[in-house]
Amino acid sequence: MKIKVGVIFGGESVEHEVSIISAIQAMNKMDEEKYEVIPIYITKDREWYTGDMLKDIDVYQDLDLIKRYGDNVVLYYKNGTYVLQKKSGLFKRTVKEIDIAFPVVHGTNVEDGVLQGYLQTIGIPFVGPNVYGAVAGQDKTIMKDIWKNAGLPMTEYVWFYDVDYRQNPEDTLKKVKSLKYPVIVKPATTGSSVGISVCDDDETLKEGIDEALQYDTKIVVEEVVQNLKEVNIAVMGNYEHQKVSEIEEVLSGNKFLTYTDKYIGGGKSKTKGGVKVKGKSKGMASTNRKLPADIDKKTRETVENVAVRAFKALGSAGNSRIDFLIDEKTNKVYINEINSIPGSLAFYLWEAKDQDFTKVLDEMINIGIKDYKKRMSKTHSFESNILAGFASNGGTKGMKGAKGKLR
Q: Identify whether residues 214 and 232 lie together within a single domain.
A: no
Calpha distance 294→249 (Å, rounded): 7
* pLDDT given at position 257: 53
Element (H, E) at 27: helix 16-27
* pLDDT given at position 220: 97
Residue type, 215: Y
* pLDDT given at position 27: 98
* pLDDT given at position 41: 98
Question: Is 330 among the domain residues?
Answer: yes
Q: Identify whether residues 184 and 35 lie together within a single domain.
A: no
Q: Identify whether residues 100 and 205 lie together within a single domain.
A: no
The separation between CA 373 and the C-alpha centre of its own chain, rounded to angstroms, equals: 22
Q: Identify whether residues 195 and 289 lie together within a single domain.
A: no
* pLDDT given at position 83: 97
Question: Is 394 among the domain residues?
Answer: no
Q: How many CA atoms lie within 13 A of 92 on its CB side?
A: 10
Q: Identify whether residues 287 and 197 lie together within a single domain.
A: no
Specify the 3-state DSSP secondary structure of 234. Answer: strand
Q: What is the CATH number of the domain that holds 358?
A: 3.30.470.20
Q: What is the CATH number of the domain that holds 211?
A: 3.30.1490.20
Question: Is 91 among the domain residues?
Answer: yes
Cis preceding linkage at 292, omega within 30 = yes
Other beta carbons less than 10 A from residue 251's beta carbon: 14
Per-residue pLDDT of the chain (407 residues; tens, 9 = 90+): 999 999 999 999 989 999 999 999 999 999 999 999 999 999 999 999 999 999 999 999 988 889 889 999 999 999 999 999 999 876 778 999 999 999 999 988 999 999 999 999 999 999 999 999 999 999 999 999 999 999 999 999 999 999 999 999 999 999 999 999 999 999 998 765 778 999 999 999 999 999 999 999 999 999 999 999 999 999 999 999 999 999 999 997 555 555 455 444 544 434 444 444 444 445 555 568 999 999 999 999 999 999 999 999 999 999 999 999 999 999 999 999 999 999 999 999 999 999 999 999 999 999 999 999 999 988 877 777 777 766 556 555 555 554 555 45
Host domain of residue 90: 3-128
Residue type, 60: Y
Q: Identify whether residues 19 and 113 lie together within a single domain.
A: yes
Calpha distance 319→235 (Å, rounded): 6
| Predicted TM-score (pTM) of this structure | 0.87
Q: Identify whether residues 310 and 198 lie together within a single domain.
A: no
Question: Is 255 among the domain residues?
Answer: yes
Q: What is the CATH number of the domain that holds 88?
A: 3.40.50.20
- Total domains, the chain: 3
Enumerate residues 6+ apart whose C-beta is below 8 A from 219: 159, 160, 161, 162, 165, 185, 186, 187, 188, 209, 212, 213
Question: Is 351 among the domain residues?
Answer: yes
Q: Identify whether residues 217 and 234 lie together within a single domain.
A: no
Question: What's phi and psi for 295, nearest 5 deg?
Answer: -135, 155
Q: Identify whether residues 88 and 213 lie together within a single domain.
A: no
Specify the 3-state DSSP secondary structure of 35. Answer: strand
**Partners of residue 284 on adjacent β-strands:** 282
Question: Is 396 among the domain residues?
Answer: no
